[in-house]
Amino acid sequence: MAQSTAYNMNSAKGAREDLSDQLRRVEPQETPLFSLLPSSSAPNALFTEWNVDDLGAPNIDPVLDGTDLQFVGASATASSGSPGTAGDTGHFENKFANKARMGNRIQQLRTGFTVSPLSEQIAIAGIGNLYADAKAKASLELKRSIEVLLGSDEAGSTASGGAGDTCAGLGAITNSDTSTAGGYYASGGLGASASSFAPVTGSRLDLTTATGNLVEGFGTIAGTDVSLRALLQAVYEASGMKANFRLFASPSIINAISDFTRTSTGSTRFNQQISGGGSVSLSVKEYESDYGTLTVIPDLFLGRTVSAPTTSVANRAYLLPSDDTVSIKTLQGVTAVDLPDIGGGGKRGYVTFTGTLCALNGKHLGSIV
């Protein structure tokens, strides 16, 4: 005798579906660079610029009583002990001979959305208003794209052909190798003097080798290991500032820093007990060094060229001061534009971002790649 079961009483027989009125987006959504970097004044041109200058080396040459200062020619060198050196005790000099202009290209990003008239009239699980939800999703997607742009290796370029202006990302701005072809300081349209204001040697740690590891101090270095403390020392010696930093870091760098609390065999090096409880923290959220305090911030979008992570950007981190040294210049931030339904195809619109990165002091920046 045939029996009605839960399996043959399917949807074709009228069995109801149980679809909850919920929608959960499962992709990463946090964009710490875009959220935490300060905003500076809105740009007024496609290429926004700022001024940088240096200081001459200290000079303690004695002054012979009764001697006059002398003028020097414009071609005088600024090498140590030569006429024209900043701080020179024997000559009048041009204090702004090394002053330079830095800059970055404004880049525009956008993503569009549309819904048909009928789609707005039917009930869709997990969505209250189809057009409003499409706009909200487009805004989230655009913010992820902005995060990728800010943390990219783009060197910056002028619009040509069918491509618009490209903003230089932190991967290029923090690169201490000024000879790199297509690099931000080498050929970013900044002028020949810009390379002297680039991040210094030692401010970029290279973990691209198969055996290289990120370690805390000098005593543990072996083979191709690199020291976080050495990076901080290089930045301090170049900028002369002991500051609070944010270290925007990929998961691999986060893991390596947390391993500072463990021995080479994986056992705990030291414990931090929470007052009044028995919990032990082996996660390093703040690293206090001799050269400043680092707040460690996870970021999944550093060094990418597309939305998906790759092994080539697993070891990526940017060391940025917590002040306004690095800021975002935007025209109205992320803006949504609603367009009229012309032709009856349905509502449509787009979200857009136009902006760039401003890095006032390259010598105060560090990176791990």
The answer on 89 and 164 residing in a single domain is no
pLDDT at 281: 54
Is 2 contained in some domain? no
The answer, yes or no, to whether residue 277 has pLDDT greater than 90, is: no
The answer on 282 and 255 residing in a single domain is yes
Among 279-283, 314-318, 364-368, the range of highest mean pLDDT: 364-368
The answer on 61 and 171 residing in a single domain is no
pLDDT at 275: 52
The answer on 253 and 172 residing in a single domain is yes
> 318 phi and psi, to 5 degrees?
-125, 130
How far apart are alpha carbons 166 and 157 in whole angstroms?
5
pLDDT at 354: 95
Q: What 3-state class would DSSP assign to 34?
A: helix
The answer on 179 and 71 residing in a single domain is no
Beta-bridge partner residues of 169: none
The answer on 354 and 220 residing in a single domain is yes
Query: Of all residues in the chain, what percent carry a pLDDT higher than 70?
Result: 83
Q: Lowest-confidence range among 158-167, 255-264, 354-363?
A: 255-264
How far apart are alpha carbons 228 and 168 in whole angstroms?
25
pTM of the complete model: 0.86
* pLDDT confidence bin for 100, thresholds 50/70/90: confident
The answer on 216 and 129 residing in a single domain is yes
The answer on 280 and 159 residing in a single domain is yes
pLDDT at 93: 82
The 10s digit of each residue's pLDDT in 310-354 is 556 778 999 999 999 999 999 888 899 999 998 889 999 999 999
Average pLDDT over residues 68-96: 62
The answer on 67 and 43 residing in a single domain is no
Is the separation of the CB atoms in 131 and 112 below 8 Å? Answer: no
How far apart are alpha carbons 8 and 12 in whole angstroms?
9
Average pLDDT over residues 214-220: 76
Is 15 contained in some domain? no
Q: Lowest-confidence range among 54-63, 89-98, 219-228?
A: 219-228
* pLDDT confidence bin for 77, thresholds 50/70/90: very low
The answer, yes or no, to whether residue 37 has pLDDT greater than 90, is: yes
The answer on 339 and 323 residing in a single domain is yes
Beta-bridge partner residues of 52: 100
Strands 335-339 and 348-359: antiparallel
Return the closest-CA partner of residue 210 out of 311, 128, 307: 311
Count of domains for the chain: 2
Which domain covers residue 209, as residue numbers?
23-51+101-368
The 10s digit of each residue's pLDDT in 226-254 is 889 999 999 999 988 888 999 999 998 99
Q: CATH code at 243? A: 3.90.1690
Mark which of 97, 125, 158 sits at the end of a domain. 97
Mark which of 97, 126, 152 sits at the end of a domain. 97
The answer on 272 and 333 residing in a single domain is yes
Query: Which residues, 6 or more positions from 43, have their beta carbon under 8 angstroms from its beta carbon?
Result: 106, 329, 331, 355, 356
Is the separation of the CB atoms in 286 and 296 below 8 Å? Answer: yes
Mean pLDDT value across the chain: 83
The answer on 239 and 132 residing in a single domain is yes
